[in-house]
C-alpha cells in the first residue's frame, strides 16, 4: 500500500508495535517507577554536594527540577537511537525496508516508548522533587512551556533518528549515547543560564541544542536569556533543519545499503 493511507497504516502499525513491546515487559514499568525517584535523588545531590545550602533556596530547587526534567526528555529520546543498530544486528532492518517503511517510521515504534518514559518519568520527577525536597514547583510561562516541550520532543525525535543512522553500524552504540545524554543537556542550557559565570553565558548560545533545551528551563524560571520569540523561532528552524538532515542521511544510508548490501555510512 502506498500514498497517505499506506503512510498512516505503517505509522499506526509502528505505534502499536511500540506499545505492545512496552506492555509485554511489565517488569520494566515496575523497575522505572521505583528507580526514577532514586536516580533523581542521586543526580540532585551529586550536583548540590558542592552547594548544599541551595537545598534551602526555592528558586534554585525549582530551576534544578526543570533542569533534570530536560535531562529525562533528552535521555528518553536519545536512547531510541540505539534501536536501529539493534534492529540491524538482529537482522530485522532488511525486512522493515522490504515493507516500504522508512527508518523514521520504524524509529517511531521505539520513540513511542520515549514519549511514555517522558510522560511517566517527567511528572514522577516533579512529584519527587516536591515531596522529597520540598520544592514549590512553579512555571512562570505555562504557554511557552507547552510549546517548548513539544518543540524539544520533535527535535530530539528527529535528532535520535539522525544519530541512529550515524551509529547503525557500531557494535556498541550505547557508549556514545550514554555520553551524549549527559553532555548535550548540561552544556546546552539545562543548567539555568543565570547561575552560570558571565563569560560562559554567551558561549553556550553557540550550541544548537541550547535553543530547544533552554526554553524549558527558562519557561519555568521566567529567566529567558534572549527574547522568547527569538529562541523559539531559532529552535523551530533547527527542528526543521534536523528533520531534513535526518531524511538526507536516511536516503544516503539506504542507497549504500542497496549498493553494498550492508547498513553503514562509513
Residues found near another protein in the complex (CB under 8 A): 25, 27-28, 30-32, 34-36, 38-39, 41-42, 45-52, 54, 60, 171-172, 175, 178-179, 182-183, 186, 191, 195-197, 200
Rounded CA separation 63/143 (Å): 17
Task: Report which of 238, 237, 211 is spatially closest to residue 224, judged by C-alpha positions.
Answer: 211
- For the bound state, the minimum distance from the C-beta of residue 29 to another protein, rounded and expressed in Å, comes to 9
- For the bound state, the minimum distance from the C-beta of residue 246 to another protein, rounded and expressed in Å, comes to 25
Closer of 57 and 233 to another protein (Cβ)? 57
Closer of 2 and 53 to another protein (Cβ)? 53
Q: 210 is written with which cell numbers?
A: 541550547
Closer of 102 and 129 to another protein (Cβ)? 129
User: 3: alpha, beta or left, given left = phi > 0 and alpha = psi -120 to 50?
Assistant: left
- For the bound state, the minimum distance from the C-beta of residue 255 to another protein, rounded and expressed in Å, comes to 28
CB burial of 135-150 (b: ≥16 within 10 Å; e: otherwise) equals beeebebeebbebbbe
CB burial of 183-202 (b: ≥16 within 10 Å; e: otherwise) equals ebbbbbbbbbbebeeeeeee
- For the bound state, the minimum distance from the C-beta of residue 216 to another protein, rounded and expressed in Å, comes to 17
Closer of 128 and 149 to another protein (Cβ)? 128
Q: 39 is written with which cell numbers?
A: 536516580
Closer of 54 and 147 to another protein (Cβ)? 54
Task: Say if CB 180 and CB 78 are below 8 A apart.
Answer: yes
- For the bound state, the minimum distance from the C-beta of residue 28 to another protein, rounded and expressed in Å, comes to 5
Cβ partners under 8 Å of residue 72, min gap 6? 117, 118, 121, 122, 125
Closer of 147 and 196 to another protein (Cβ)? 196
**From the centroid of its chain, how far is CA 104?**
15
Distance of CA 180 to CAs 50, 81, 147, Å?
Answer: 24, 11, 24
Q: In the 8-state DSSP scheme, what is residue 208?
A: T
- For the bound state, the minimum distance from the C-beta of residue 45 to another protein, rounded and expressed in Å, comes to 4
- For the bound state, the minimum distance from the C-beta of residue 39 to another protein, rounded and expressed in Å, comes to 5
Closer of 83 and 243 to another protein (Cβ)? 83
Amino acid at each position: 500500500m502506498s500514498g497517505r493511507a499506506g503512510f498512516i497504516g505503517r505509522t499506526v502499525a509502528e505505534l502499536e508495535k511500540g506499545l505492545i513491546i512496552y506492555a509485554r515487559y511489565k517488569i520494566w514499568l515496575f523497575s522505572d517507577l521505583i528507580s526514577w525517584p532514586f536516580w533523581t535523588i542521586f543526580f540532585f545531590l551529586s550536583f548540590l554536594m558542592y552547594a548544599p545550602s541551595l537545598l534551602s533556596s526555592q528558586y534554585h530547587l525549582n530551576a534544578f527540577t526543570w533542569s533534570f526534567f530536560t535531562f529525562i526528555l533528552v535521555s528518553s529520546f536519545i536512547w531510541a537511537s540505539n534501536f536501529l543498530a539493534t534492529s540491524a544486528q538482529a537482522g530485522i532492518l532488511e525486512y522493515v525496508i522490504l515493507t516500504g517503511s522508512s527508518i523514521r517510521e520504524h524509529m517511531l515504534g521505539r520513540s513511542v516508548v520515549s514519549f511514555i518514559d517522558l510522560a511517566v518519568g517527567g511528572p514522577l520527577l516533579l512529584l519527587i522533587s516536591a515531596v522529597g525536597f520540598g520544592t514549590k514547583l512553579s512555571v512562570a510561562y505555562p504557554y511557552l512551556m507547552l510549546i517548548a516541550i513539544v518543540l524539544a520532543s520533535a527535535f530530539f525525535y528527529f535528532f535520535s533518528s539522525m544519530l541512529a543512522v550515524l551509529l547503525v553500524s557500531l557494535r556498541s552504540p550505547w557508549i556514545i549515547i550514554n555520553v551524549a545524554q549527559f553532555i548535550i543537556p548540561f552544556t546546552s542550557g539545562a543548567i539555568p543560564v543565570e547561575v552560570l559565570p558571565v563569560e560562559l553565558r554567551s558561549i553556550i548560545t553557540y550550541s544548537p541544542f541550547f535553543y530547544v533545551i533552554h526554553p524549558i528551563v527558562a519557561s519555568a524560571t521566567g529567566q529567558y536569556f534572549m527574547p522568547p520569540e527569538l529562541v523559539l523561532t531559532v529552535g523551530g528552524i533547527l527542528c526543521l533543519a534536523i528533520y531534513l538532515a535526518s531524511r538526507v542521511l536516511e536516503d544516503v544510508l539506504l542507497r549504500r545499503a542497496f549498493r553494498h548490501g550492508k547498513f553503514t555510512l562509513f
